[in-house]
Amino acid sequence: MSVTCPVLAIASNYTNTQPTRMLFQTNYLIPYKHRELKLVCELAATYNSVIDVLYLSKSDKLSLRQEDNQAFIRETICKTKVNFRIEHSKKITEAIQNYIKDNAIDMLVMVNTQHSFLEDMLFPSNIDLVSVDLKIPLLALQNTMRFT
């Protein structure tokens, strides 16, 4: 699915009204834009939320491209408290769900990147997999065309 604006999905049985802790999962491969991070920051600032930026990997070493994207996030991210975390896992969906449970996360933020029709058929996106049975709000940022 292709969207041109951010989408906030909230489960019908969700009762909490203020996200005090937000999870922003990234692989640092996407070159984020100021407007995407600004939206996350404005939302976090409204509720004085802590943001956990989670990188899931098999190793601690980032590529040069990932280091550049991480530096951009560090420089651009808001004035609220931000934790940069690394978790080692091959199973992204499971790792995100465990992190949410273990760290009392109130909102998940992910970027839905554009895929080809064939990729969509063969490989479900992480955002699709994680959103199934998600008990907390999910902010899916727009999947604008990116040249990397």
Q: What would the DSSP string read from start to end of 8-67? A: EE--TT------SEEEEEE-S-S---HHHHHHHHHHHHHHT-EEEEEEEESSSPPPHHHH
Over residues 83-102, mean pLDDT:
88
Query: For residues 129 and 17, which has the higher predicted lDDT (pLDDT)?
Result: 17
CA–CA gap between residue 92 and residue 82 (Å, rounded)? 21
Neighbours of 46 (CB within 10 A): 11
**pLDDT for position 118:** 47
Q: 108, 82, 106: which is closest to 95 by C-alpha?
A: 108
Q: Set out the domains of the chain in order of their start, with CATH numbers.
A: 7-141 (3.40.50.620)
**pLDDT for position 125:** 52
Encode pLDDT of 16-26 as tens digits.
778 999 999 88
Query: For residues 35 and 46, which has the higher predicted lDDT (pLDDT)?
Result: 46
The band of 4, judged by pLDDT with boundaries at 50, 70 and 90, is confident
Query: For residues 2 and 29, which has the higher predicted lDDT (pLDDT)?
Result: 29
Is 0.85 topped by the overall pTM? no
The band of 6, judged by pLDDT with boundaries at 50, 70 and 90, is confident
